[in-house]
Amino acid sequence: MKIVVGGASNVGKSIVGYLSLGNNDIVVVDEDSSKLDEIAKEYDIQPVLGSISHPDVQENIGMQNMDMLIAVTESDEINMVACQVAYTLFNVPRKIARVDSRYFLNPLWNTLYNEKSLPIDLVITPDVEIGKFIENLLNLPGTTAVYPFSNNYMNIFAFKHQDTDIPFMKFSLNHINHKLQDYGAHIVLILRGGRRIIPSIEEDEYLQRNDLIYVCCEPDKNLEVIRLFGVDHNPYEKVVIFGANATSYYLADTIEKKDNIESCSIIEPDAVKAAKLAEKLNTVSVIAGEMMSDVILQDAGFAQADASVAVTDKDKDNLLISLLASKNKDAQAFSLVNSKDYNVLALNIKNNVIIDRSTITISAILRYLRKARIYEAYSLGSDIGEMWEINLGSDSVNIGHTIKELNIPKDSAAVAVLNKAEEMIFNLEKYALQAEDKILVFVAPNDIRRIENIFYL
């Protein structure tokens, strides 16, 4: 696929990092030569200096031959104009724009984005997507990821297996999944180091300490099911957030609207940013000051916090904050990371959950990158794979075929089906697919093209 990415900042770089793993020709356009040099050193891309919204720049890069434009500069207006130019002058099939301003995102203006007005196929707000991801983690303590599917009728949550003394965990995967049937739940994937274990294939496997376990179930059963595995984390009642930006605003605004978190403070070293954010909030306190200052941390109640959320633009600061939070007994740390360079340090911090900007950002656009009829999709990590929700239309060539007959590659698997009657089905080998079925498929990185071809029609 030929893709143009407008913007080489953190968001653009995270998208390029993921796209570069596939068979894509990538052009990156930015007005900052230093950012282009940095991204060109790390990835095999064509760097172009200029504004992505300028017609002559688009013409020079051959926009008329491109399959997709992803405009993610830090200017909403530039991103929207870039999509307009790409559509009007060069007839680009797919156009995605980053839009951060709440004024442009007001539901009242939904009709703005169409071929007659602003021809944007998908509007994404990466910082808000990160906020939603963290919100789901705060709502289900003890998890490292929560992925909603089918309009939140079912979801997949992940957690790390720590307690080997739980009797429930001593059984084989086949036995555990048999027991989970009573809760409408199922282990669908396990990550063990660099190995991916699919329970439906390796039924006789046993869980091991530090396994990352992915469970599919109905959202209202999440807490009950995760406790079966010995994860009984106390609710997060006191939260401290580091960094004043769109992500922290989304989280703080959500916390103010709900009553599950008793107190929340935000620390921001930039006094102007802190003041602007404070004007938008009511009960959440915003503190201007150095994030590592003992006085500031004390004012924010950091020592008593159940969770710290570090979402600044600097990976190093976020990880240092999480390292500091790890000294608090039973405190959970969440740290936003933009670069893989810090992964080794991040993994050595106790009770730290890494929020990978690239996987969350790419998840927002994933269904537009794939050729299959995907309703929802998430990246679990560039080296792990993707989880797709595929909705079978009445014209699908897969209707009437069993999952086994689809010949899904052995490293991937159909893990669950939600049928028309809203029944979740996990024993799929002999299940014959029906119209309106919603299929959850785990797709290994090397199987993307083959799975696309299976579910293309």
- Domain range for 39 is 2-124
Give the angle subtended at the CA of 359 by the CAs of 14 and 155, to the nearest 5°: 160
Higher pLDDT pick, 424 / 329:
424
- 290: domain CATH number is 3.40.50.720
pLDDT band at 22 (very low <50, low <70, confident <90, very high): confident
Same-domain check for residues 23 and 102: yes
- 170: domain CATH number is 3.30.70.1450
Q: pLDDT tens digits for 68-85? A: 999 999 999 999 999 999
Q: Identify which of 340, 299, 346, 343 has the alpha carbon closest to the alpha carbon of residue 321.
A: 346
User: What are 48's two structure tokens?
Assistant: 């172009």
Number of compact structural domains in the chain: 4
Same-domain check for residues 247 and 338: yes
Same-domain check for residues 201 and 274: no
Cα torsion angle, 435, 375, 380, 68, sign: positive
The letter for the amino acid at 212 is L
pLDDT band at 109 (very low <50, low <70, confident <90, very high): low
Same-domain check for residues 48 and 97: yes
| Residue 108 scores a pLDDT above 90 | no
**Helices 10-19, 33-42: crossing angle, 10 deg rounding:** 30
| Residue 206 scores a pLDDT above 60 | yes
| Residues contacting residue 36 through CB under 8 Å, at least 6 positions apart | 8, 28, 30, 47, 48, 49
Helices (H), 379-421: none
Same-domain check for residues 194 and 265: no
Cα separation, 342 vs 319, in Å, equals: 8
Same-domain check for residues 9 and 112: yes
Measured torsion, CA atoms of residues 17, 18, 22, 23, in degrees rounded to the nearest 10: -50
Same-domain check for residues 168 and 89: no
Same-domain check for residues 167 and 247: no
Q: Which of 356, 372, 395 is the last residue of a domain?
A: 356
First-to-last alpha carbon distance for the chain, in angstroms, is 19
Name beta bridge partners: 123.
Answer: 97
pLDDT value of residue 343: 56
Least confident of 127-136, 141-150, 191-200: 191-200
Q: pLDDT tens digits for 372-408? A: 788 999 999 878 999 999 999 888 899 999 998 999 9
Averaged pLDDT for residues 181-209: 90
Q: pLDDT tens digits for 265-294? A: 999 999 999 999 999 999 999 999 999 999
Q: pLDDT tens digits for 411-450? A: 999 999 999 988 899 988 788 999 999 999 999 988 988 9
233 occurs within a structural domain = no
| Residue 105 scores a pLDDT above 60 | no
Contact 92, 68 (CB under 8 A): yes
* Secondary structure, 3-state, 344-373: HHHHCCCCEEEEEHHHHHHHHHHHHHCCCC
Averaged pLDDT for residues 136-141: 94
**Sheet of strand 195-197: strand arrangement:** 145-149, 154-160, 212-217, 186-192, 195-197
Cα separation, 60 vs 89, in Å, equals: 13
Q: Is 327 exposed, middle or buried (0-12, 13-18, 19+ CB in 10 A)?
A: exposed
Averaged pLDDT for residues 43-70: 96
Q: Which helix (H) or strand (E) holds 274?
A: helix 271-280
Same-domain check for residues 369 and 441: yes
Long-range CB contacts for residues 81-87, cutoff 8 Å, separation at least 24: 81/53, 82/6, 82/52, 82/53, 82/58, 83/118, 83/119, 83/120, 84/118, 84/119, 85/53, 85/54, 85/55, 85/58, 86/4, 86/58, 87/115, 87/119
